Amino acid sequence: MDKTQDIMQRVRRIEMQARRLVTSTFAGLYRSGFRGQGLDFDEFREYTPGDEPRFIDWKVTARTGTPYVRKFHEEREQALLLAVDASASMRYASSLSQDSKLEYAARIATTLAYSAALNGDKTGLLIFGCNPHFYLPPAKGARQYLRVLGSILSSPPDGADEDVPAVTDELMRTQRKKTLLVMISDFLFAPDKQAIGKLNYRHEIIPLRVNDPLELTLPPAGRVHALDAETGAQLDANLADPTLRAEHAKRVRNHFETWDQLFAQLSIDNLQLMTNQDFMPKLRALFKRRSRLIR
């Protein structure tokens, strides 16, 4: 089977899974959790008692001599932008999982993009961690979520983790309007509070952290020869060594605790997902939380 046929088969399989997962209940959660959170300017009108003072337009008021307020209407649609990490580390799949982290991310992305399509929302895609980046501008319709899925699965496999500021700059440049930004990655790159904070200020960011269980806890496999898929660095190690295992666990824990603290400081809701687990229960819980907050 050639590469194109393999990708087409995986696209069909993941698309069918997404259609089954996105029930009417989940589509409703998507709508209540994310739609209608922005405001578009509508018109000016004279100030009346009870109006919010923060909506007074002082330029118009000074020009006319009469207080005027800006009137807004709720946005009718929410643009969804999926930022998916396709670096070499995302290609990893252990014996505990049937999916690589990238394929798992593709299933999540397709579920969200299909939900957006059912609700008449636009979906766009930025694939980073590959050279060059791939950008698909937001658009509506069933063909768009299929483009999203196919683009993720066919992304080049030789990229490395990137600095968060570089990805942030591209997202800020391509997304001028406020967007629901779902970032799907293993987040193995260095945390950067300033960059994530800048993204969160302009957009509504939801980080989804995807990891394989064997990344977090080394298996007691004895002596191994390991190759870093991103840097090419090689390492001979004894995974049965308790000191090595403890040091690895400590570094992994510290790395993800730093990300946890960063998201908490910026009040960013996020999910930690494992490739050997069903992502839907946590995704549903996220949407329910957001639905309650919006009300």
- What 3-state DSSP class applies to 125? strand
Query: What DSSP line would sit under 5-55, residue for residue?
Result: HHHHHHHHHHHHHHHHH--HHHHHHHHHHHTT--EEEEEEEE--TTS-GGG
Q: Are 213 and 111 contacting, i.e. CB atoms less than 8 angstroms apart?
A: no
Determine the straight-line distance between the first and last CA of the chain, rounded to whole angstroms.
51
Residue with tokens 């895609």: 125
Q: In order along the chain (295 residues), what is the average pLDDT of each group of 10 residues?
A: 75 83 74 56 72 77 82 64 94 85 95 89 93 91 90 86 88 89 94 94 94 84 72 75 86 94 95 94 88 61
Work out the widest C-alpha separation in the chain, in whole angstroms. 82
Interacting residues of 18 by C-beta distance below 8 A, sequence separation 6+: 107, 110, 111, 113, 114, 145
pLDDT of residue 44: 74
Domain residue extents for the chain: 3-34+78-294, 39-74
Neighbours of 52 (CB within 10 A): 9
pLDDT of residue 36: 45
Q: Are 220 and 240 contacting, i.e. CB atoms less than 8 angstroms apart?
A: yes
Tokens of 99: 């999916």
pLDDT of residue 283: 92
Q: Are 107 and 84 contacting, i.e. CB atoms less than 8 angstroms apart?
A: no
pLDDT of residue 274: 95
Handedness of CA 94, 96, 100, 105 (dihedral sign): negative
pLDDT of residue 176: 84
Q: What is the pTM of this model?
A: 0.81
- Four-way CATH pick for 3-34+78-294: 3.40.50.620, 1.10.486.10, 2.60.450.10, 3.40.50.410: 3.40.50.410
